[in-house]
Amino acid sequence: MKLLYTLLAVAALAFAGQTSAHSDEYLDTIATPHGGQMRMAGAYHFELMVSADALTVYVTDHAGMPVATTGAAGTATVLAGGKRASVTLQPAGADQLRGSGQFILDPAMRVVLNITLPGQSAQQARFTPLAPRPVIPTAAHDDGGHHH
């Protein structure tokens, strides 16, 4: 019985280490392919780019490989400057979704994405795309061999 508890404890610790590698705090410290903010959503990574009136989302798997967005659908709820805007996201490019709308570029901006890829359940991710992010040199990351 003691061996069972020890094995369960070791498994729990190992799993906890894997999940923390994909925390929002961790993802905010890595350089993203397009310079946006990245979040984990189920089996995917969503990278959000924000401009004056448009949102672009790049979709990859956990290995950083592009995921086709043909047939995908999504919405973004943008909360900024005390206002709420809804942006419809549509496929645009092999691994992208894009949409435009009227919203304020505000450092306190929050964006909630809801994206459904073909044949998959909807995935949600929350972003603070204009908030300052820590900059840590790539060599300083100890990702335990985990690569994005």
Q: Where are the domains of the chain?
A: 31-131
Query: Rounded to an integer, what distance in angstroms lies between the CA atom of residue 101 and that of residue 116?
Result: 20
* pLDDT tens-place values along the chain, 148 residues long: 554 444 344 344 344 434 444 788 888 888 899 999 999 999 999 999 999 999 999 999 999 999 999 999 999 999 999 999 999 999 998 999 999 999 999 999 999 999 999 999 999 999 999 988 776 555 444 454 455 4
- Identify whether the C-beta of residue 19 lies closer than 8 Å to the C-beta of residue 11: no
Q: The domain 31-131 is classified under which CATH number: 2.60.40.2480, 2.40.10.120, 2.60.120.10, 3.40.50.300?
A: 2.60.40.2480
pTM of the model: 0.77
pLDDT tens digit sequence for 16-41: 434 444 788 888 888 899 999 999 99
Give the 3-state secondary structure of residue 134. Answer: coil
